[in-house]
Amino acid sequence: MSARRGFGFARLLIAAGWVTVAAVSSAATAPKVHTVVIADMAFGPAPADVHVGDTVRYVNKDMFRHTATARDGSFDLDMQPKTSAETVVKKAGTINVYCRFHPGMKQALTVK
């Protein structure tokens, strides 16, 4: 009986350790979601402070279909009017984004 209780206590300590590690690492690297609104045939301002692992969500509030297409091929989001789509950015640098249907629509997305 006491051996079982001792074993249970050890398991509790291990579990507490895991919780601590998880809390610390998520505080340091918690991914964020950044929103870019597309309206009036244009991308809204590029979000600041985007880091590798974050999500960029494009919200198409326009009445036209648009894409958010990365020139480096890392993503290609195709959005019907009044829909949204998102991507997780995987590498640092500046990604030039454009719309395949309206090449005048451009955005420079900086990922740290």
Indicate the SS3 state at residue 2.
helix
CB of 81 vs Cu ion, minimal distance in Å: 10
Site for Cu ion in 93-112 (CB under 5 A): 99, 101-102, 105
- Strands 33-39, 55-60: pairing kind: parallel
Amino acid at 108: A
Residue with Cβ nearer Cu ion (11 or 106): 106
CB of 98 vs Cu ion, minimal distance in Å: 9
The answer to whether residue 66 forms part of the interface with Cu ion (CB under 5 A) is yes
CB–CB of 52/111 below 8 Å?
Answer: yes
Which range touches Cu ion (CB under 5 A), out of 9-17, 28-36, 47-55, 59-67? 59-67
- For residue 61 the two structure tokens come to 């509030």
CB of 97 vs Cu ion, minimal distance in Å: 11
- For residue 4 the two structure tokens come to 């079982």
Residues near Cu ion (CB under 5 A) are: 66, 99, 101-102, 105
